[in-house]
Amino acid sequence: MIYRALQIEKDDAGYRCSLKTLDDSTLPEGDVTVAVDYSTLNYKDGLAITGKSPVVRRFPLTPGIDLAGTVTESSHALFKAGDAVVLNGWGVGESHSGGLAQKAKLKGDWLIHRPAAFSARQAMAIGTAGYTAMLCVMALEKHGVSPERGEVLVTGAGGGVGSVAIALLARLGYRVVASTGRLQEADYLRGLGAADVIDRAELAAPGKPLAKERWAGVVDTVGSHTLANACASTKYGGTVAACGLAQGMDLPATVAPFILRGVTLAGIDSVMAPRALREAAWARLARDLDVGKLEAMTQEVSLQEAIALGAQILAGQVRGRVVVDVNR
């Protein structure tokens, strides 16, 4: 059987991503085969498609860290043919061919059943970005950041994680301040629920070890000076959930916010999170995410169109979420 897929190759001719027609012999090992309905584009997918960072570890490989589809074959105890499933992370799209294809073969341990509240398209409008945003919100709640504690900052607000985080936090009653380098998107961010929008320049430059206390909590997708300044301006006993590195992997900070204000820096990993945590996050998304807001932040593209968007997402030119219909 043949299927269409994006394929990344690296050889003497260079690094490239193209749309190809493949057959089942190219599928990797796995105990569950999935007919993919939709995938999505995340920042990591942009890195894989463009080769801007060495996230792809074997060649040739199909990118795509997310997918939603239907099981066609399974020897895994938890899944049977006809089951609707979702995959996020686990190194898929990096070391194991991923979701930007019409077919995928995977380890069943990586999959969860798709919540009935979401269609396959909606599940990919959420994707790793939205699932990560939910993990961040859960971390803030775990550490006692409640709406009455004060404002919550969301950095990289126009991206996928930021957009979903704003929608979630606003619906849960928080006063959300969105930080973005695209102030022309202020109306979009307010439409998602942001009470205020600030220029990312306020946080992006080197700052003081401690700044005026403002944030009860932070969802940071940016890293580097932005994360350092967010920590420095977090209130006593507040929590910063760190899940991204759009500005950089470095953290030019001091221990001052942590030992003088009791600030918690909570690291959020969505790639290797255990099944129970994944299922809890998706259950919360089904309960707390306004699907109307989800549609407002989503655009849909074809497999071929996804290639050009890889560079655009790295350049910060993509707003919200991108769903990829792998069958067109």
d(CA 7, CA 49): 9
96: CB partners within 8 A, 6+ apart: 28, 61, 90, 106
Query: Do 137 and 258 lie in a common domain?
Result: yes
Query: Do 217 and 190 lie in a common domain?
Result: yes
In a domain, 286, yes or no: no
Query: What integer pLDDT is reported at residue 316 of this predicted model?
Result: 87
pLDDT tens digits for 293-325? 999 999 999 999 999 999 999 998 999 999 999
Query: Do 201 and 313 lie in a common domain?
Result: no
Query: Do 159 and 258 lie in a common domain?
Result: yes
Last residue of a domain, one of 267, 287, 314: 267
Query: What integer pLDDT is reported at residue 161 of this predicted model?
Result: 96
pLDDT tens digits for 64-111? 999 999 999 999 999 999 999 999 999 999 999 999 999 999 999 999
In a domain, 119, yes or no: no
Query: What integer pLDDT is reported at residue 19 of this predicted model?
Result: 98
pLDDT tens digits for 34-43? 999 999 999 9
Query: Do 69 and 144 lie in a common domain?
Result: no
d(CA 319, CA 241): 21
Supply angle C-alpha 71, 121, 27, rounded to 5.
40
Query: Do 210 and 238 lie in a common domain?
Result: yes
- We report the CATH number of the domain holding residue 38 as 3.90.180.10
pLDDT tens digits for 186-206? 999 999 999 999 999 999 999
Look up the domain containing 184 and give its range: 126-267
Query: Do 131 and 245 lie in a common domain?
Result: yes
Query: Do 259 and 133 lie in a common domain?
Result: yes
Query: Do 52 and 80 lie in a common domain?
Result: yes
Helices 120-142 and 275-288, interaxial angle, to 10°? 100
Query: What integer pLDDT is reported at residue 53 of this predicted model?
Result: 87
Mean pLDDT of all residues in 243-262 = 97
Mean pLDDT of all residues in 148-163 = 97
Query: Do 165 and 210 lie in a common domain?
Result: yes
In a domain, 292, yes or no: no
Report pTM.
0.95
Query: Do 158 and 254 lie in a common domain?
Result: yes
